[in-house]
């Protein structure tokens, strides 16, 4: 999956709110159905924002985990 | 003498040019325009019919020892340290990219038609006057206000826009005949939570509908209906849309210094363009993880001036964005890389400070008042304000507990 050509890395580590969700919005704007985002963030505020974003946009949160001191979320674009 | 070339004669470029030691540096500002616009005032030209004389001659704002060349830069070779303009080139020892951000409605279908018909308050005096004319002629219906893209210069400006339009409609006795909708791509009315806690109740109290996670995808140029990527739609009679922004149309070698929106990569602390020597990017032109706004441009210019003078200086991500709450009070979005935006209670004094900045701005560009600004930014640092807000909250809690 790591070499999935549709997978896009969004590195928002070190960005305070709303940096991570803004970066996600920008990536979503340039995405197509089937794309997978791997979002790295350090701002804990991203967790509730991601839930709200997925609910609103109809996209899927595949996983959210802590790795190397960061929050890593894998998201699949299902609607746009 | 070291040759410093500054691209752009806006807030950062002008302040930096004036702040350098002209006995040591041969400073050239390359600007596509000879005019300098105080951008924050466009809000009032468009929404409050304010005096449109918010433009000054850049030559008169610059020290006589700074060379100003009005020309269109086409290409910058960061490896050969040469700037190519139409019919001329400039070699440099140090380069500072301060070319700002330009409104780019062409990114979204229908937005150029909105700009042509209704104007906006982010791309110059004429579009701002056009928007005022549209508001002045409005007699009732739906006005939708918001930003089209997550990148927005002066991040509080969309919110200030809807609050000022609400005030205008009330003053004209049109509010009960109008529906006001505020849309935003963010999860809440204002992206920073501490500010959202102040403004979300205001929107509710003033009967302004809030639509979050609304990323504009297209605008119908016949009906002016606004559609979002999320699949929603807002029908309106008057769309007041802050366009997307992009960096200047300048080619760079290497091209990898530009991001997808033509903003220039810069180290978030040193402001140096990575991978090349002697080049910096500041202000709205830079791809920094902080707000695109005047205070940041000011502080970044000073960080570069210090470094060029051979002193250590780093940018801490500081923001200081004024928010007009349209009821005679205001607040500021104060944050840094290390500190999220603090809750800074609205007051009349803060609003007066914003209004005062419209006058102080022109003087501030000389660089002569830097000791005052330095003190001001020091005393309003987010860590300081955050600690003071905490003390107030604790006192209030102690009072209510006793």
| pLDDT exceeds 80 at position B99 | yes
In chain B, the N- to C-terminal Cα span, in Å, equals 68
B193/A17 Cβ within 8 A:
yes
List the one residue out of B92, B67, B160, B95 whose CA is nearest residue B122: B160
**CATH for B135:** 3.50.50.60
Domain boundaries, chain A: 7-76
Torsion-angle region of residue B75: left (phi > 0), alpha (psi -120 to 50) or beta? beta
Torsion-angle region of residue B358: left (phi > 0), alpha (psi -120 to 50) or beta? alpha
- The percentage of residues in chain B with a pLDDT greater than 70, rounded to a whole number, is 99
Q: Are residues B223 and B279 in the same domain?
A: no
Please report whether residue B157 resides in a domain.
Answer: yes
Closest residue in chain A to residue B193, using alpha carbons only:
A17
Between strands B25-31 and B2-7, the pairing is parallel
Could you list the residue range(s) of the whole structural domain that residue B18 is in?
2-103+246-308
Q: Are residues B331 and B394 in the same domain?
A: yes
Last residue of a domain, one of B216, B244, B272: B244
Token pair belonging to B230: 């999320």
pLDDT digits (tens, 9 = 90+) for B289-309: 999 999 999 999 999 999 999
| Site of tokens 């229908």 | B110
State the average pLDDT over residues B338-367: 94
Query: Chain A closest CA to B121's CA: distance in Å?
Result: 22
Last residue of a domain, one of B289, B308, B327: B308
State the average pLDDT over residues B342-356: 95
Q: Which residues of A touch B151 (CB under 8 A)?
A: 22, 26
At A17 the pLDDT is 67
DSSP E strands, B11-163 = 25-31, 35-37, 55-57, 67-70, 73-77, 82-85, 88-91, 94-97, 102-103, 141-147
Query: Is A53 tagged catalytic?
Result: no
Three-state DSSP class for residue A75: strand
Residue B342 DSSP label: P
**CATH: 3.40.50.620, 3.30.110.40, 3.40.50.300, 3.60.21.10. Which one for A7-76?**
3.30.110.40
Cα torsion angle, B152, B154, B160, B165, sign: negative
**Probe site for chain B from A10, A13, A15, A17 (most B CB atoms < 10 A):** A17
State the average pLDDT over residues B319-338: 95
**pLDDT class of B402 with cuts at 50, 70, 90:** very low
Taking 70 as the pLDDT cut, the residues of chain A under it are: 1-4, 17
List the one residue out of B167, B143, B208 whose CA is nearest residue B44: B167
List the one residue out of A29, A39, A41, A46 whose CA is nearest residue A7: A39
DSSP E strands, B276-386 = 279-281, 319-324, 330-335
The structural domain count of chain B equals 3
Angle between helices B294-308 and B370-379 (to 10 degrees): 120
Last residue of a domain, one of B285, B308, B331: B308
């Amino acid at each position: 999956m790591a070499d999935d050509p549709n997978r896009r890395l969004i590195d928002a580590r070190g960005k305070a709110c709303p940096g991570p969700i803004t970066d996600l919005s920008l990536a979503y704007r340039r995405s197509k159905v089937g794309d997978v985002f791997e979002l790295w963030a350090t701002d804990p505020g991203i967790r509730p924002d991601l839930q709200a974003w997925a609910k609103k946009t109809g996209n899927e949160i595949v996983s959210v985990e802590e790795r190397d001191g960061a929050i890593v979320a894998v998201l699949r674009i299902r609607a746009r | 003498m070291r040759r410093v070339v500054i691209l752009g004669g806006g807030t950062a470029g002008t302040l930096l040019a004036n702040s350098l030691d002209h006995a040591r540096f041969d400073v050239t500002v390359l600007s596509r325009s000879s005019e300098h616009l105080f951008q924050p005032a466009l809000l009032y030209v468009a929404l409050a019919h304010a005096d449109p004389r918010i433009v000054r001659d850049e030559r008169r704002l610059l020290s006589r020892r700074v060379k100003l060349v009005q020309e269109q830069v086409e290409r910058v070779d960061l490896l050969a340290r040469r700037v190519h303009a139409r019919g001329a080139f400039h070699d440099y020892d140090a380069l500072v990219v301060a070319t700002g951000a330009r409104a780019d409605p062409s990114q979204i279908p229908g937005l150029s038609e909105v700009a042509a018909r209704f104007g906006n308050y982010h791309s110059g005096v004429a579009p701002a006057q056009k928007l005022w004319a549209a508001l002045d002629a409005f007699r009732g219906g739906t006005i939708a206000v918001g930003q089209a893209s997550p990148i927005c210069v002066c991040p509080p400006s969309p919110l200030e826009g809807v609050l000022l339009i609400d005030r205008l409609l009330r003053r004209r006795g049109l509010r009960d005949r109008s529906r006001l909708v505020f849309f935003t791509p963010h999860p809440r009315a204002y992206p920073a939570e501490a500010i959202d806690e102040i403004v979300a109740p205001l929107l509710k109290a003033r009967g302004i509908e809030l639509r979050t996670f609304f990323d504009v995808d297209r605008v119908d140029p016949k009906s002016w209906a606004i559609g979002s990527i999320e699949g929603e739609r807002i029908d309106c009679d008057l769309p007041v849309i802050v366009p997307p922004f992009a960096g200047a149309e300048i080619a760079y070698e290497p091209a990898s210094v530009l991001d997808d929106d033509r903003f220039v990569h810069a180290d978030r602390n040193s402001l140096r363009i990575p991978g090349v020597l002697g080049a910096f990017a500041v202000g709205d032109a830079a791809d920094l993880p902080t707000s695109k706004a005047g205070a940041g441009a000011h502080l970044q210019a000073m960080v570069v001036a210090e470094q060029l003078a051979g002193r250590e200086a780093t940018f801490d991500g500081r923001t200081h964005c004024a928010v007009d709450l349209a009821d005679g009070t205001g607040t500021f979005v104060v944050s840094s890389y290390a500190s999220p935006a603090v809750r800074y209670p609205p007051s009349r004094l803060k609003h007066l400070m914003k209004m005062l900045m419209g006058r102080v701005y022109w003087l501030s560009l000389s660089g002569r008042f830097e000791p005052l600004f330095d003190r001001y930014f020091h005393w309003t640092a987010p860590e300081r304000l955050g600690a003071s807000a905490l003390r107030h909250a604790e006192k209030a809690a102690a009072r209510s507990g006793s």
